[in-house]
Amino acid sequence: MGLYDRDYTQDNFQSQHHPAPHMRIQFPRITPVVKWLLIINIVAFLSGYLIPRFGTFLFSWFSVWPETFGTTIQIWRYITYQFLHYGLGHIFWNMFVLYFFGTMLENLWGGRKFLIFYLVCGSTGGIFYPILAHIGWLRVAYLVGASGSILGMLAAAAILFPKMIVYLFGVFPLKMSVLAIIIAVMSILSILRPDISPNAGGEAAHLGGMCAGAVYVLSERWRQRFKMKIQKGIWQKNMTEQRDLQLEVDRILKKVHDRGMHSLTSKEKKILKQATKTEQMRHKF
């Protein structure tokens, strides 16, 4: 994970949606969701590291493990595997990137949206690996780590802030967009040559997470328009129903005026009672 998990500065930290010219970031203040993600990951790692039997239990029941169809469809694994790690280097670099980029995205989107994004990216990466394993392209092994989520964040940052500068190995400056392309190409090459790649399964999760992150950001405008269209449709439906109800209530009240209450059918009485109750509730609130 050392390729991309380094401190970063930015000479022109901007995008067409969120301009922020010429600013430098060092150690941002940690955000609530990122804080809890760090805590859960670290506690899970230390528990398994210090108590090996418990670590074996965690890997057996909470990693992505496509050994059989039964273990593949155990849905919880695609969430829980994101909080398990193999070793100190694995968890250190993942948490390092989570702290910097996660804090940035949570500040931009808010905690709820960021958490959904994080878990969706990780789950997509987790799903991508078993597909390739079951068709015989990749060998079956435990899949653990937050890398799918981490790469999803990097893909999102590359789209939102393509000119942001990151330092490869802490030395070589690269634009965020260039770094994301390099990582994606490396993942694709590893998947295409699983016989020579020591972590082809992990690279599959990386690529899946990156794809999910990119799709999430690129589809945001479309999703907003779709959501607004649905809300508009619901509002129009409610307005139509209220108008129709009011017309029916007016007809019933006229009938009461002309013929008396005894002339109403059970259905008309029910409508009138419901309209009265709705009006009382409206005035109450």
Q: Looking at residue 82, which CATH number applies to its domain?
A: 1.20.1540.10
State residue 105 phi and psi, 5-degree precision. -75, -35
pLDDT, residue 221, reads 79
| Cα 201 to Cα 22: distance, rounded to the nearest angstrom | 39
Neighbouring CB atoms inside 10 A of 236's CB total 10
The string of pLDDT tens digits covering residues 260-283 is: 787 888 888 888 787 777 776 665
CB contact burial 93-114 (16+ within 10 A = b; e otherwise)? bbbbbbbbbbbbbbebbeeeeb
For the four alpha carbons of 277, 278, 280 and 285, in that order, the dihedral sign comes to positive
pLDDT, residue 280, reads 67
Say if 22 falls within a structural domain: no
The string of pLDDT tens digits covering residues 19-53 is: 443 334 467 899 999 999 999 999 999 999 999 99
Q: Please check whether residues 198 and 231 belong to one and the same domain.
A: no
Q: What is the mean pLDDT of residues 127-149?
A: 86
Q: Look up the domain containing 181 and give its range.
A: 32-218
Percent above pLDDT 70 for the chain: 84
Work out how many domains the chain is built from and give that number.
2
Residue 147 pLDDT > 80: yes
Cβ atoms of 118 and 55 closer than 8 Å: no
Q: Please check whether residues 235 and 201 belong to one and the same domain.
A: no
Say if 96 falls within a structural domain: yes
Q: What is the mean pLDDT of residues 202-211?
A: 85
DSSP 99: I
pLDDT, residue 23, reads 37
Residues 6+ apart with CB under 8 A from 205: 64, 125, 126, 128, 129, 143, 145, 147, 148
Q: Please check whether residues 231 and 143 belong to one and the same domain.
A: no
The string of pLDDT tens digits covering residues 214-242 is: 999 998 877 777 677 777 778 777 788 77
Choosing from 198, 218, 238, the residue where a domain stops is 218
Say if 11 falls within a structural domain: no
Say if 248 falls within a structural domain: yes
